[in-house]
Structure 1
Amino acid sequence: MSVTAAPRSTARPRGRGLVEERPLRHPDTSSPEVMGRRGWWLVVLNFVLPGSAQVLAGNRRLGRFGLGATIVMWLLVLLTVLTALMWRPLLFSAASNWFVMLGLQVVIAFYALLWIVLTIDTLRLVKLVRAGTVARIGVPLLAILLAVASTTASVWAFDRVNSVRETLSTVFGSSGPSVPPSDGYYNILLLGADSGEGRDSMRFDSISVVSVNAETGATTITGIPRDMGHFPFAEGPMKDLYPDVHEGRIDATCGWGSGVNQLQTEVEVCRDGNALYPDAVANGSTPGVEATKDAAEGILGITIPYYVFIDMKGFADLVDALGGVDINVVERLPKGGGPQFEGQSAEDWAEGWIEAGQQHMDGDTAQWYARSRYTTSDFDRMRRQRELQQAILAQMTPQNVLDRFSEIADAGQVLVETDIPADLLPFLADIAMKAKEQPVTTIELTPENGIPERDTDFAYVRELVQNALHPATPTPAPEG
């Protein structure tokens, strides 16, 4: 009788096979080397692709949720980049929407919290007690460093979004309705003064109009002398008071001069400005600003729906936030408020000097460069203010703004008042990007440009502005 031997089984033990086929989920816990190597891998995978460590070695439901959130975040980043490249107005529109920015903050905060939870769970999966000495120390240290890096990035993004949201809420909190461009231009009245002197008696030290072509972004800045007097008004309440030209009034109780910068005193101190311009405050403006708009429209012959007021004290903060500005100083200028006693020279009262030559100015120096009025004329000061405006625009590069975004946003909140509506910001931001590629044209209404201080020919001024904004197209010479 023969006995046939049973065939020898070739199957591997079940536990051993799982260890060999799926070492991350079923590692050989008896090997410190294997457990250490597994720990390094899980920590790196959690950082590169949050959720993947759980899918491979832990709670798959949590891992799938983490992976899904990670994929969504990467899709949002990719969509943002594509929108910035192909549909910039849409991106600016989203960035100027308060609720969109708040929702983005919530998403960033939630994902940062999820990342921390996944990191803690990954350290649990590592089972450090089974790893070697080097891994037992190095793996948690690496996990902490990577967690700090990811959290720092999330805090940075959260802070940038929060700065945008707060700045929009503060600066563009109230305004009137948006209006289409006038004759192809967005015209904005740019005013500068020291708000700290008391808004009821403040006079605008700098008055100019920024005209931005709605299609090309070409920018023209027209400077109006603050003491320009006997000017006409555009249609409105002030035109009803002064059908021909503005006149000053000498009055011991409350008087004013005929200059443009006297309108703030006249309208808001000596007259009932709210009766003249009842909708001004509700639309984010003031009666004094609205009167100045009407004056600028009458002088230049263009429609000016919006204004931007720049506080000169906050102006220095903006320059510092941008990292300073570069200016070629053509004449030595004193810093300080002027002589305290009759007969004093600048050497006696100057707090310091801005020397001639190429200068990299901080905020304080730039402020004095714009404001210095002694040893120089108002027309020279207008030129310097225009130089600073262009220098600031030159510093507003995407890289510089991104690097110093929080500082710039914080400075903007205390620097600027405006009635530009928030829904117009996407278009203006897109135009500003185009404007960076073109030189800025300036028009100074000064005697050296044929505009006398007195007996100004305002018809000539309007013609000058129209020729700058709408230059004639040269007629091609006929062939032959």
Structure 2
Amino acid sequence: MKRSRKKKKKWPKVAGLIFLLLIIAGCAYGFSVYHSLTRAVETMHRPIDRETGKRTKELTLSQDEPFSVLILGVDEREGDRGRSDTMIVLAVNPETESVRMLSIPRDTRTEIVGHGTTDKINHAYAFGGIEMSMDTVEHFLDIPVDYYMQINMEGFKDIVDAVGGITVNNDLDFTYEGVHFNKGNITLDGEKALKYSRMRYEDPRGDYGRQLRQRQIIQEVINEGASVSTLANYGDIFSALGKNVKTNLAFNEMIEIQQNYRAAAKKVDQLTIEEKGTKINGVYYGIVSDEEKLKIQNEMKVQLGIK
């Protein structure tokens, strides 16, 4: 009987020791994740100094103000800055708990701010990099562009692989560069996701179909990256982000967005711009009517709480 009581007394001590070890292990894991994250963010962080801008007062994320992000998908080449073949503007509103994701066709004809020319909007990056791209998009949409994210599209496949692949709902049966994509829900690894996002000429919708697939992939990467199941792959995810993404978002701003704006990611509305294709001096352009431009501008302003 005495021996039995001693064993019973030992169990609370053993359970307490196990619990303590779990806490220590959890703290060590948390520190490891935090260390990997800060290191990746330091590599990604590329602040810019813009003299122009439509934001009349400083944005305060801690006060849950709406903000916008310009996503530039760039095919980087050695010795060449390349062009931003993918241009997507995210307008995030925490009050309505929603995001509007607008694709800007790369052939859109507009004024290139700071260059003194009217050209395809994706040429802004080739002429003046991030700053000129942000200024040109601000002028085109008549809204402030607060942040940018430049993604190396060739390396984007590493990000898709790091989150364990993605599943998208494909609305067009097609084959591209030796890979067949069935209609319906399909699972893509990084290599297939890159090809899925690049196909253009076999799609009867042309660039609009490609934009749709690009938005699908970005949205699914965000969803997968935010899921608990991907925590085991945090090292690969942070490494892939550090190598292939550049942004002016600082670490503390990322933390505030994660804490205060997370609910907005649950509702993402995708917007497109209607254009009419034409040739000017033998060069193809997408022409946006004044009515269409005004409609898009107003939708984005409403999302950002601009009157």
Structures share fold, TM-score greater than 0.5:
yes
**1:331 match: secondary structure:** coil
**Runs of at least 5 residues in structure 1 that lack an aligned partner in the other structure:** 1-22, 24-32, 51-146, 248-257, 268-286, 337-350, 472-480
Aligned ranges for residues 56-75 of structure 1 at < 5 Å?
none
Q: Partners in 1 of 2:58 and 2:153 — Cα distance? A: 28
The aligned counterpart of 1:261 is 122
Structure 1 range deviating more: 152-161 or 204-213: 152-161
Aligned match for 2:272, one of 433, 444, 449: 444
Tell me by how many angstroms 1:308 deviates.
Answer: 0.3
**2:295 match: secondary structure:** helix
Q: Partners in 2 of 1:432 and 1:407 — Cα distance? A: 25
Aligned match for 1:180, one of 28, 37, 59: 59
Please say if residues 186 and 214 of structure 1, whose CA atoms lie closer than 8 Å, have aligned partners that are also in contact. Answer: no
Q: Partners in 2 of 1:463 and 1:425 — Cα distance? A: 31
The aligned counterpart of 1:219 is 99
Task: Output one character per residue of 1:281-338: Cα deviation in whole Å (capped at 9) or x when no partner.
Answer: xxxxxx41111111111211111132101111221122122222111212233333xx
Q: Given the two structures, how large is their TM-score scaled by the length of structure 2?
A: 0.78
Q: Are residues 162 and 427 of structure 1, via their aligned partners in 2, closer, same or farther at CA, if it must alter by over 3 Å? A: closer
Aligned ranges for residues 68-467 of structure 1 at < 5 Å?
153=26, 155-172=28-45, 174=47, 179-180=58-59, 185-195=66-76, 197-198=77-78, 200-229=80-109, 231-233=110-112, 238=114, 241-242=115-116, 246-247=117-118, 258-265=119-126, 267=127, 287-336=128-177, 351-376=178-203, 377-437=206-266, 439-447=267-275, 454-458=286-290, 460-467=292-299
The aligned counterpart of 1:93 is none
Q: Partners in 1 of 2:301 and 2:47 — Cα distance? A: 30
Tell me by how many angstroms 1:194 deviates.
Answer: 2.3
Aligned ranges for residues 27-46 of structure 1 at < 5 Å?
44=14
Q: Are residues 260 and 329 of structure 1, via their aligned partners in 2, closer, same or farther at CA, if it must alter by over 3 Å? A: same
Tell me by how many angstroms 1:156 deviates.
Answer: 2.9
Q: Are residues 412 and 259 of structure 1, via their aligned partners in 2, closer, same or farther at CA, if it must alter by over 3 Å? A: same
**1:389 match: secondary structure:** helix
Task: Output one character per residue of 1:129-153: Cα deviation in whole Å (capped at 9) or x when no partner.
Answer: xxxxxxxxxxxxxxxxxx7x78765
**1:360 match: secondary structure:** strand
Q: Partners in 2 of 1:458 and 1:401 — Cα distance? A: 44
AA aligned opposite 1:260? I
**Runs of at least 5 residues in structure 2 that lack an aligned partner in the other structure:** 51-56, 277-283
Q: Partners in 2 of 1:367 and 1:357 — Cα distance? A: 18
Please say if residues 275 and 286 of structure 2, whose CA atoms lie closer than 8 Å, have aligned partners that are also in contact. Answer: no
Q: Partners in 2 of 1:319 and 1:352 — Cα distance? A: 17
Q: Partners in 2 of 1:327 and 1:404 — Cα distance? A: 21
Please say if residues 275 and 287 of structure 2, whose CA atoms lie closer than 8 Å, have aligned partners that are also in contact. Answer: no
Q: Partners in 1 of 2:60 and 2:12 — Cα distance? A: 57
Tell me by how many angstroms 1:462 deviates.
Answer: 3.3
Task: Output one character per residue of 1:179-226: Cα deviation in whole Å (capped at 9) or x when no partner.
Answer: 3169x531111000222x236241111011111115344211111111
Q: Given the two structures, how large is their TM-score scaled by the length of structure 1?
A: 0.52
Q: Are residues 199 and 394 of structure 1, via their aligned partners in 2, closer, same or farther at CA, if it must alter by over 3 Å? A: farther
Which structure dedicates a bigger proportion of its chain to strand? 2
**1:190 match: secondary structure:** strand
Q: Partners in 2 of 1:164 and 1:180 — Cα distance? A: 24
The aligned counterpart of 2:54 is none
Which structure dedicates a bigger proportion of its chain to helix? 1
**2:84 match: secondary structure:** coil
- Largest Rg, 1 or 2: 1
The aligned counterpart of 1:17 is none
Q: Are residues 199 and 213 of structure 1, via their aligned partners in 2, closer, same or farther at CA, if it must alter by over 3 Å? A: farther
Please say if residues 333 and 369 of structure 1, whose CA atoms lie closer than 8 Å, have aligned partners that are also in contact. Answer: no
Q: Are residues 427 and 387 of structure 1, via their aligned partners in 2, closer, same or farther at CA, if it must alter by over 3 Å? A: same
- Alpha-carbon RMSD across the aligned residues, in angstroms, is 3.4
The aligned counterpart of 1:47 is 17
**Aligned residue pairs: how many?**
283
AA aligned opposite 2:111? P
Please say if residues 164 and 409 of structure 1, whose CA atoms lie closer than 8 Å, have aligned partners that are also in contact. Answer: yes
Tell me by how many angstroms 1:360 deviates.
Answer: 1.4
Tell me by how many angstroms 1:164 deviates.
Answer: 1.7
Task: Output one character per residue of 1:441-464: Cα deviation in whole Å (capped at 9) or x when no partner.
Answer: 12211349xxx9544224631332
Please say if residues 45 and 249 of structure 2, whose CA atoms lie closer than 8 Å, have aligned partners that are also in contact. Answer: yes
Q: Partners in 1 of 2:78 and 2:261 — Cα distance? A: 33
Q: Partners in 2 of 1:331 and 1:49 — Cα distance? A: 52
